Amino acid sequence: MSIFTIVFAFLAFAGIIIAMQAVTAKPRQDLIAERLAQYRDHNLTLDEIELSLPFSERFIKPVLERLGSLLTARMAKNRQVVVQNKINLAGRPYALSVNGLEVVKVIVGIVIALVALGLVGVMGVTSLPLKGAALGVGFLLGRFLPDVWLNNKIKGRQKELRLALPNALDLLTISVEAGLGFDAAIGRLTEKFKNALSDEFAQVLNEIRLGRPRLEALDDMGRRSGVEELHTFIQALIQSEQLGVGIAKVLRIQSEEMRRRRRQRAEGRAGPAENALPDDRLHLPDPVHRADGPSSDHYYPYVST
């Protein structure tokens, strides 16, 4: 094995370690919040707070972000939007960004390329064109693997959202019927459950507290989730509030319908997602019970089924 290959392998290994440290590091906002909570009785400057962060957060992650920005500099804007949407659908695992994903693709590509080169060497191949082909194929395969991982994360998260929705609707219904406001009911839901759906509702609450209109925050949650049942539920809530229909009644109807759908799915008899809320089951004013809206392809063009 040549010196060039050894140096290349060492650099690739070092890149993997650096990337793992950067990806698994805590989000910057959480770290700053922890330092502020720890030293809230002391007057700290922003520089002191920054210096209290781990080395990976202060140096490694910014370097990788700059490297990622160079890699995405020539990427079309619409392509960046597609990738960002996929990351959002996956729940932004490890606080991943478009730049970070591109860096991961390059690192994984280099690693798989080196593995392919090693396999070719073990097989006794000495032809330079074949070794070059092995490097090229390995690199392309390595760049493809993070996309496979991201798609699997999207499917897993959407499945988690679907499974959590009936129980969440039950809790919202009970809370609202007991006299709580809808925002307070959402707060109770985020305290009771710890899953992808509760995280989405927690983000809605944070946006409302920051001044975003509630209907707009809910609508954005329904669209970015990529789950047709959740989007349909959110649209029914929005239209019921716009038309002055009692939200408790809407929640009760939606809760019963979601449980019926889950029971049918468990029995293997569930129909298409667009039939999740048939008109004959919803006794609401016509504009409300037709809240299924445009097809999911309009909102979720990047989700494969």
In tens, the pLDDT along 1-47 reads 555 455 555 556 666 665 555 455 444 445 445 554 554 545 666 66
CB atoms under 10 Å from CB of 146, counted, come to 19
Q: What is the mean pLDDT of residues 158-176?
A: 90
Of residues 25 and 194, more confidence is placed in 194
The position carrying tokens 């202060």 is 58
pLDDT of residue 73: 85
pLDDT of residue 248: 84
95: Cβ contacts below 8 Å, ≥ 6 apart: 27
Q: What is the mean pLDDT of residues 272-285?
A: 42
Residue 26 has what DSSP assignment? P
Q: Measure the CA–CA gap between 68 and 100, rounded to whole angstroms.
A: 6
Residue 43 has what DSSP assignment? -
Name the percent of the chain lying above pLDDT 70.
69
48 pLDDT tier (thresholds 50, 70, 90): low
Calculate the average pLDDT of the chain.
76
pLDDT of residue 44: 60
282 pLDDT tier (thresholds 50, 70, 90): very low
Q: Measure the CA–CA gap between 99 and 83, rounded to whole angstroms.
A: 10
Q: Measure the CA–CA gap between 257 and 282, rounded to whole angstroms.
A: 9
Residue 82 has pLDDT above 60, yes or no: yes
pLDDT of residue 242: 83
| Total-model pTM | 0.67
Residue 232 has pLDDT above 60, yes or no: yes
Residue 204 has pLDDT above 70, yes or no: yes
| Cα torsion through 36, 40, 45, 50, rounded to 10 | -20
225 pLDDT tier (thresholds 50, 70, 90): confident
Displacement of CA 276 from its chain's centroid (Å):
24
CB atoms under 10 Å from CB of 51, counted, come to 11
Q: Measure the CA–CA gap between 300 and 291, rounded to whole angstroms.
A: 17
pLDDT of residue 61: 74
Residue 226 has pLDDT above 80, yes or no: yes
Q: What is the mean pLDDT of residues 77-92?
A: 89
Of residues 146 and 298, more confidence is placed in 146
Handedness of CA 55, 61, 62, 66 (dihedral sign): positive
Of residues 86 and 276, more confidence is placed in 86
Residue 278 has pLDDT above 50, yes or no: no
- Listing DSSP states for 70-93 in one string gives HHTTTS-HHHHHHHHHHHHHTT-G
The answer to whether 117 and 135 have CB atoms below 8 angstroms apart is yes
Q: Measure the CA–CA gap between 262 and 254, rounded to whole angstroms.
A: 12
Q: Measure the CA–CA gap between 169 and 273, rounded to whole angstroms.
A: 18
Three-class SS of residue 49? helix
pLDDT of residue 301: 41
Displacement of CA 252 from its chain's centroid (Å):
29
Please give the radius of gyration of the chain, using alpha carbons only, rounded to the nearest integer. 24
Q: Measure the CA–CA gap between 115 and 120, rounded to whole angstroms.
A: 9
Q: What is the mean pLDDT of residues 138-142?
A: 92
pLDDT of residue 96: 83
Q: Which helix (H) or strand (E) holds 154?
A: helix 128-177
Residue 133 has pLDDT above 80, yes or no: yes
Residue 154 has pLDDT above 80, yes or no: yes
Q: Measure the CA–CA gap between 11 and 144, rounded to whole angstroms.
A: 21
pLDDT tens for residues 89-104? 888 888 788 888 998 9
Residue 269 has pLDDT above 60, yes or no: no
285 pLDDT tier (thresholds 50, 70, 90): very low
